[in-house]
Structure 1
Amino acid sequence: MATGNVAYPTITIDLILDRLTTKDVLKAVLHSILFHRLFGTVKPQTFEVLDVTMPGVSDAGMEQLVNEKVDGLWKGIENGAHKRGQIRVTFSEKRPKKSWFQVYMGEEDVPWEQWVINAELRQPKADSDRQAFNARLADTLTQALHTMLTHTSSERGRAVVPLITNASGISPFPIDITVTVGGVEVG
């Protein structure tokens, strides 16, 4: 799961999407990740995508953030030569930052978990291919949900969550969502 010298888990979800479902699928997947990793008071909602019901977060700020990131990826893929993009959701905790001589230098965000959504845009060649394409995508979404549930409820998935010392707001931890298309950050 973890890659390189990264000390925190990285969970990867690979999606092959088409023009009709890209935005809905990405919004549902992002919302589902946030639903499983926000520890404040979360008002739930659901997303129905290709007959797969996915949990989400009913919060204006989170919805705006998700929409901005999905739109950024969509515009990058739609307007560019690259038909692949990536959305990274990084959960961090605030820790005191110290200098060489143990002098307190403010706070820094230290990641404890990252989710990587790899999205590739493809078009079914004919209408007859669409059913098979949609069925594969529905299976992928079901598997992604299973991955989320398995990871967040596992011993390791629970162990990486830092102590919650600030109970205000929807998330006690900083969340960073970055979008890249063709290796370039967008949005």
Structure 2
Amino acid sequence: MNTITIDIVLDRLNTREVLRALLHSILFHRLFGTIKPQTFEILDVTMPGVSDPEMERLVEDKVAAFWKAMENGANKRGSITVTLSGKQQRKTWIGYTYEEEVPWEQWVINVEIRQPKTEPERSKFNQNLAATLTKSLTTMLTHTASEKGRAAVPPITNQDVSPFPLNISVTVGDVEVG
């Protein structure tokens, strides 16, 4: 299984917007059905997204769960994990067969919340965030276009927006939320 990690430092002002854009960008690169694209503009970085009501609701729910856990707790670190799985036939020892979900790729967004105190700190913080977002997009593009990234994808058997089981989990302070 391929695991791609994105480490990002955010502040309270842009946490929801950035997480929404990162999740949409991952989905844009890993949903294989017919999708309607959209874009997110964050600190002069344009990020791709998916305009699909079901995916938008899923992303909104997970970002809201992350935000709520961050707001209610003292912990300022968390992660959002996107796991893509394929279905494989398995046989039991007595000859029965069943379908099992087998993960083939996992995207982990590690988040740390920090708050800049002065205007010069804010300016430097925003520059670093824009650079991190650009690096994250480059990582997504490099991985999904690479031979390893393409080889990880199981055969696509239907035309659904998400032909593979998709799971997004939110963890804050070693506790899964949402």
What range describes the TM-score normalised by the shorter chain of this pair?
Answer: over 0.9
Q: TM-score with structure 2 length normalisation?
A: 0.98
Q: Percent identity?
A: 66
Q: Which amino acid aligns with 1:184?
A: V
Aligned to 1:175: 166
* Root mean square deviation of aligned Cα: 0.8
* Residues 26-74 of structure 1: per-residue CA shift (max 9 Å, x gap): 0000000000000000100000011100000000000000000011111
**Per-residue deviation, 1:81:** 1.3
* Alignment-mate amino acid for residue 68 of structure 1: D
CA distance in 1, matches of 2:95, 2:125: 56
Alpha-carbon distance between aligned partners in 2 of 1:89 and 1:27, rounded to the nearest angstrom? 13
User: Which of 50, 63, 75 lines up with 1:70 in the alignment?
Assistant: 63
- 1:26 match: 19
- Structure 2: how far apart are the matches of 1:25 and 1:133? 14
Count of matched residue positions in the alignment of Structure 1 and Structure 2: 178
Deviation at 1:98, TM superposition (A): 2.2
Deviation at 1:97, TM superposition (A): 3.1
5+ residue gaps, structure 1, are: 1-7
Look up the match of 1:143.
135
Partner secondary structure for residue 131 of structure 2: helix
* 1:74-117 deviation digits (Å, cap 9, x = unpaired): 1111110110110000000111232123311x321110000000
Corresponding residue for residue 82 of structure 1: 75
Q: Matches of residues 15-164 of structure 1 in structure 2 within 5 Å? A: 15-104=8-97, 106-164=98-156
Structure 2 portions without partners, runs of 5+: none
Distance, in Å, in 1 between the alignment partners of 2:166 and 2:2 is 15
Distance 2:91 2:66 in 1: 36
**How far did 1:128 drift?**
1.9
Q: Distance in 1 between matches of 2:154 and 2:18?
A: 29
Normalising by structure 1, we get a TM-score of 0.93
SS in 2 for 1:95: strand
2:8 partner SS: strand
